[in-house]
Amino acid sequence: MTGTPGIDVAVPPSGTGCAECLASDSGWWFHLRRCAECGHVGCCDSSPAQHASHHFRETGHRYMQSFEPGETWFWDFENQEALKGPALAEPTSRPESQPAPGPADRVPQDWQLHLH
């Protein structure tokens, strides 16, 4: 996938958490995904708000990479399949010290009941 349109290995992630969840007063996520084209960090489809999927639908940026520590897999939203891809710009995951789900101060006690 090196040199694949829709993947920019030089662009850094937008932050250490889901951009939209962090912009709200109560947003939280289960796991994070990073857009391989623009670096946008959004929450996964198991998360309540599913911002990574929304980012794909709004922008057409089809490739996301897991933004979880130790995970390097990519997801192609267009073909609905997991792929291997090139190394993206650092950092390649949320900080290991940052809990999942997160952010810790916003996650409800019954968080499992809110997952998709």
Domain of 84?
A: 19-113
Q: What is the mean pLDDT of residues 32-45?
A: 98
Q: Is residue 78 part of a domain?
A: yes
Predicted confidence (pLDDT) per residue in 66-85, tens digit = 999 999 999 999 999 999 99
Q: Is residue 23 part of a domain?
A: yes
Locus of tokens 């089809």: 62
The larger pLDDT score, comparing residue 3 to residue 94, is at: 94
CA distance 54 to 89: 23
Q: Is residue 61 part of a domain?
A: yes
Map residue 80 onto helix, strand or coil. coil
| Contact assessment for residue 87 and residue 8, using Cβ atoms and an 8 Å cutoff | no
Question: pTM of the entire structure?
Answer: 0.95
Q: Is residue 47 part of a domain?
A: yes
CATH number, position 30 = 3.30.40.10
For CA atoms 54, 45, 74, 87, give the dihedral sign.
positive
pLDDT higher than threshold 90 for residue 52? yes
Neighbour order of strands in the sheet with 74-76: 41-43, 32-35, 63-66, 74-76, 81-83
Q: Is residue 79 part of a domain?
A: yes
Map residue 64 onto helix, strand or coil. strand
Q: Is residue 55 part of a domain?
A: yes
